[in-house]
């Protein structure tokens, strides 16, 4: 009794059913012969039934593969035909039994082969092959164009869309992932550049990046910066590569890079792989500034960077020097007929390529004194790549004009879909890139979008190499050490000449002899940066360029406008017509901001932005704070979601109406 269910289950399997039907022919034919063997009417009825069942099988199998349809019809006709002949003759006739044994065994074996190989007509859209697809995309009108390509841990299904766009299909990726029981990052939609209605659905069910890959060492020690920079494996095992300079031969543009990812996502460590490779090349120098984490990220790089700053004043001085450096380098290259930086520029002019690395750049933008727009618009043609790293590239932490100039994006895990939309291009998001699914739980996971990278790989996850400080220091100790050319050094001015010098033991050394950095040193740097800013302003007003030559576009005989009377100071007195205002504490300024928001609510405003607060910022305004402070506060209020909410337009927020707490 205990074996009965097992036996029954055995006869229900697809492989045993043909043989069970074959064996059943003998007792069935014996029974029908005994009952209807001498009845002409029964024979006629069985003939009609056999023919009708065979025709019904042919009609019902329409839409299946041709081989399967023919085999089903043949099996039905042969089975009913044998039953008819055995009924009206002798079921135990040797010739009849032999025909059943040989022919029936051949048909049953054929069914076993077809079942094992799972022969399907992929183009027919049969339910067994496209059922999961149809179920996962809901009512979307999509079908397979041909049989899916199956590789180890990868399925590529060519789709034919009807009445739906690839972007709309991409919006259903999370629903597909739920139906398939896999991660949303495992599904992506790859568009066809020639036919919008023929994308490919790619499914990678198993995460092959769970184990990080140790950095294998420099890929091209002593090579050129024009060569590829490997950063880590894609999920299919191919190594991800990026490029910084232009390549006229292939038409690839030089590019600036934005590196985005939330705290703990691995963005600093990931870009460290890039910088390590860069510093092993013979024709490139690196300037780096990190006003937030100091030596935590820069530690192993500091002795090998041409200029390294870890204070806010130093970062501002470096950014302020770049416009003059860009102009001087571009002018020299132009005089020698170079439209872009190439290795020939270094060989003939001694001018290395330059990478300006600004870590945690949001702090630099919020300072309000750095005009990065002009830098990123002009630096590429001067042989300079600017890298801006930050957690959230919103309009409050990076101007939109700057972000639009970043041709390269290395996006690690981010907090929420809104940040992901800011960090990645829209078409990459539509194709299935979901960095918000990682957040900071998978350090090193990233998407790479950049010139030279195949577009079909924009949406494929990679994981940057796992590199250690010891590997960085050991490698750079034996790497080439190019220096800045005289044109670059002279254009960078006093800030560059007095830059900190670092040795392998991380001791900071200055030309003036300082060996220990103190708060007074940093204050002196700020004052020096302010002096340089004032000096540049005076030179511009006087029509003198950075190299001391007259500016032909400035009229030196133009009269200086009179000073407004309300700006005249008397000794020990404030400007006339103006009353000094006490500086608000941080708490008072935040309370004043909330009071202004309440006034906006009373005016029935729905959308607001920093521009609406222009009467209130500044030293003499109600907020007693800068515009940069205001932008940061509005961003934090939007993140909290109590007083403000983000909209689709950057720098514009929806004014919320929080309900007062119950007493």
- pLDDT tens readout for residues 384-426: 999 999 998 887 788 888 888 999 999 999 998 999 999 999 9
Judged against a pLDDT cut of 80, whether residue 450 lies above it is answered with yes
pLDDT of 124? 36
pLDDT, one tens digit per residue, over 298-313 is 889 999 999 999 888 8
Q: What is the mean pLDDT of the chain?
A: 80
pLDDT at 7: 52
- 49-55, long-range: CB < 8 A, 24+ apart: 49/80, 50/77, 50/80, 50/81, 50/83, 50/84, 53/80, 54/80
Can you give 538-592 as a three-state secondary structure string? HHHHCCECCCCCECCCCCCCCCCCCCCHHHCCCCCCCCCCCCCCCCCCHHHHHHH
pLDDT of 509 strictly over 50: no
Q: What are phi and psi of 2, to 5 degrees?
A: -70, -25
Contact between 170 and 431 (Cβ < 8 Å): yes
**636 band by pLDDT with thresholds 50, 70 and 90:** confident
Given the DSSP bridges, would you call strands 284-289 and 408-411 parallel, antiparallel or unpaired? unpaired
User: What is the rounded CA–CA span in Å between residue 495 and residue 514?
Assistant: 15
- 10 Å CB burial of residue 648 (0-12, 13-18, 19+) is exposed
Choose the weakest-confidence range: 97-111, 187-201, 452-466, 612-626.
97-111
The token pair that represents 455 in the structure block: 């577009």
Both structure tokens of 299: 């530690």
Name the percent of the chain lying above pLDDT 70: 80
In this prediction, what percent of the chain has a pLDDT beyond 90? 33
**Six-digit token string for 470:** 């010891």
Strand partners, 355: 286, 385
Encode pLDDT of 42-87 as tens digits: 778 878 887 888 788 777 777 666 777 787 888 887 878 877 787 7
Residue 521 has pLDDT above 50, yes or no: yes
CB 305, CB 287: distance < 8 Å: yes
The CA-to-CA distance between both ends of the chain, in Å, stands at 72
Q: What is the pLDDT of residue 380?
A: 92
Is 300 within 8 Å of 477 (Cβ atoms)? no
* Tokens linked to 485: 């050319």
Domain 122-203 belongs to what topology?
3.30.980
Whether 314 and 511 have beta carbons less than 8 Å apart is answered as: no
pLDDT at 215: 96
Give the residue from 252, 232, 233 showing the smallest Cα distance to 243: 252
For the chain, what's the residue count?
A: 663
pLDDT at 628: 77
The confidence score (pLDDT) of residue 543 equals: 58
Burial of 115 (0-12, 13-18, 19+ CB in 10 A): middle
Q: Which two tokens stand for residue 648?
A: 């689709």
Task: Tell me which of 3.40.50.300, 3.40.250.10, 3.40.640.10, 3.40.190.10 is the CATH number of domain 232-497.
Answer: 3.40.50.300
Residues paired with residue 240 on neighbouring β-strands, in sequence order: 232
DSSP strand pairing (653-655 vs 607-608): antiparallel
Task: Supply 96's token pair.
Answer: 């009849």
Q: Is residue 332 pLDDT above 60, yes or no?
A: yes
pTM of the complete model:
0.59
Tell me the pLDDT band of 649, cut-offs 50, 70 and 90. confident
Three-class DSSP category at 371: coil
Contacts with 229 (C-beta within 8 Å, 6 or more apart), sequence order: 219, 241, 242, 243, 244, 274, 277, 278
Regarding the domain delimited by 586-655, which CATH topology (the fold level of the hierarchy) does it fall under? Arc Repressor Mutant, subunit A (1.10.10)
Distance CA 425, CA 404 (A): 10
Q: How do the domains of the chain map onto residue ranges? A: 4-117, 122-203, 232-497, 509-545, 586-655
Task: Answer with the residue of higher pLDDT: 175 or 552.
Answer: 175
Cα 337 to Cα 350: distance, rounded to the nearest angstrom: 15
Residue 553 pLDDT class (50, 70, 90 cuts): low
| Pairing between β-strand 200-203 and β-strand 187-190 as defined by DSSP bridges | antiparallel
- pLDDT tens sequence across 458-476: 999 999 999 999 999 999 9
| pLDDT(132) > 80 | no
The reported pLDDT for the residue numbered 126 is 39
Give the Cα-Cα-Cα angle 324, 329, 333 (nearest 5 degrees). 150
Poorest-confidence range of 243-257, 422-436, 607-621?
A: 607-621
Q: What DSSP state is assigned to residue 212?
A: P
d(CA 174, CA 138): 12
Q: How far apart are CA 463 and CA 445, in angstroms?
A: 4
Q: Which pLDDT belongs to residue 119?
A: 39
Query: Quick one: which H or E segment has residue 277?
Result: helix 267-278
* DSSP 8-state class, residue 438: T
């Amino acid at each position: 009794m205990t074996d009965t269910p097992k036996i029954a289950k055995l006869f229900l399997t697809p492989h045993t059913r043909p043989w069970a039907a074959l064996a059943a022919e003998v007792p069935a034919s014996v029974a029908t012969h005994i009952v209807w063997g001498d009845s002409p009417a029964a024979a006629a009825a069985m003939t009609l039934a056999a023919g009708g069942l065979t025709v019904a099988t042919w009609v019902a199998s329409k839409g299946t593969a041709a081989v399967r349809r023919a085999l089903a019809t043949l099996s039905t006709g042969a089975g009913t035909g044998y039953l008819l002949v055995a009924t009206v003759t002798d079921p135990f006739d040797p010739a009849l039994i032999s025909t059943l044994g040989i022919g029936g065994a051949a048909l049953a074996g054929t069914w076993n082969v077809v079942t094992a190989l799972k022969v399907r007509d992929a183009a027919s859209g049969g339910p067994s092959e496209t059922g999961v697809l149809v179920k996962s995309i809901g009512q979307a009108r999509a079908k397979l164009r041909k049989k899916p390509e199956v590789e180890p841990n990868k399925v590529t299904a060519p789709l034919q869309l009807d009445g739906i766009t690839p972007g709309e299909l991409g919006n259903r990726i999370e629903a597909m992932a739920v139906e398939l029981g896999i991660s949303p990052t495992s599904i992506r939609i790859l568009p066809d550049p020639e036919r919008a209605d023929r994308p490919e659905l790619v499914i990678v069910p198993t995460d092959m990046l769970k184990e990080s890959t140790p950095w294998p060492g420099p890929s091209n020690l002593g090579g050129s910066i024009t060569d590829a920079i490997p950063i880590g494996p894609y999920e299919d095992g191919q190594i991800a590569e990026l490029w910084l300079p232009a390549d006229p031969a292939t038409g690839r543009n030089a590019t600036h890079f934005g590196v985005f990812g939330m705290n703990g996502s691995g963005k600093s460590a990931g870009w460290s792989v890039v910088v390590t490779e860069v510093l092993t090349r013979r024709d490139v120098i690196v300037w780096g500034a990190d006003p937030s984490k100091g030596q935590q990220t820069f530690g192993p790089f500091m002795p090998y960077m041409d200029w390294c700053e870890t204070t806010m004043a130093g970062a501002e001085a470096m950014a302020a020097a770049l416009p003059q450096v860009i102009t001087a380098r571009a002018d020299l290259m132009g005089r020698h007929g170079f439209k872009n930086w190439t290795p020939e520029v270094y060989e003939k002019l001694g001018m290395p390529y330059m990478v300006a690395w600004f870590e945690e750049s949001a702090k630099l933008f919020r300072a309000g004194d750095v005009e990065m727009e002009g830098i990123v618009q002009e630096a590429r043609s001067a042989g300079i790549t600017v890298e801006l790293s930050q957690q959230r590239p919103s309009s409050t932490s990076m101007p939109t004009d700057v972000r639009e100039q970043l041709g390269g994006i290395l996006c690690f895990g981010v907090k929420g879909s809104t940040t992901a939309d800011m960090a990645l291009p829209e078409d990459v998001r539509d194709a299935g890139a979901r960095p918000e699914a990682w957040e900071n739980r998978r350090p090193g996971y990233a998407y790479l979008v950049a010139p030279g990278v195949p577009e079909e790989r924009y949406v494929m996850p990679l994981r940057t190499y796992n590199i250690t400080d010891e590997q960085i220091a050991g490698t750079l100790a034996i790497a080439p050490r190019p220096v800045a050319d005289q044109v670059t050094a002279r254009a960078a001015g006093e800030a560059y000449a007095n830059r900190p010098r670092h040795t392998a033991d991380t001791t900071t050394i200055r030309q003036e002899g300082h060996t220990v950095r103190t708060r007074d040193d940093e204050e002196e740097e700020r004052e020096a940066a302010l002096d340089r800013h004032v000096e540049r302003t005076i030179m511009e007003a006087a029509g003198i360029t950075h190299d001391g030559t007259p500016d032909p576009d400035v009229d030196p005989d133009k009269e200086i406008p009179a000073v407004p009377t309300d700006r005249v100071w008397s000794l020990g007195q404030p400007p006339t017509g103006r009353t000094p205002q006490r500086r608000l504490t941080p708490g008072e300024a935040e309370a004043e901001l909330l009071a202004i928001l309440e006034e906006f609510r009373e005016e029935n405003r729905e959308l607001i932005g920093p521009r609406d607060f222009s009467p209130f910022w500044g030293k003499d305004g109600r907020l007693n704070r800068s515009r940069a402070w205001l932008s940061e506060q509005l961003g934090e209020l939007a993140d909290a979601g109590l007083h403000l909410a983000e909209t689709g337009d950057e720098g514009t927020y929806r004014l919320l109406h929080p309900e007062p707490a119950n007493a």
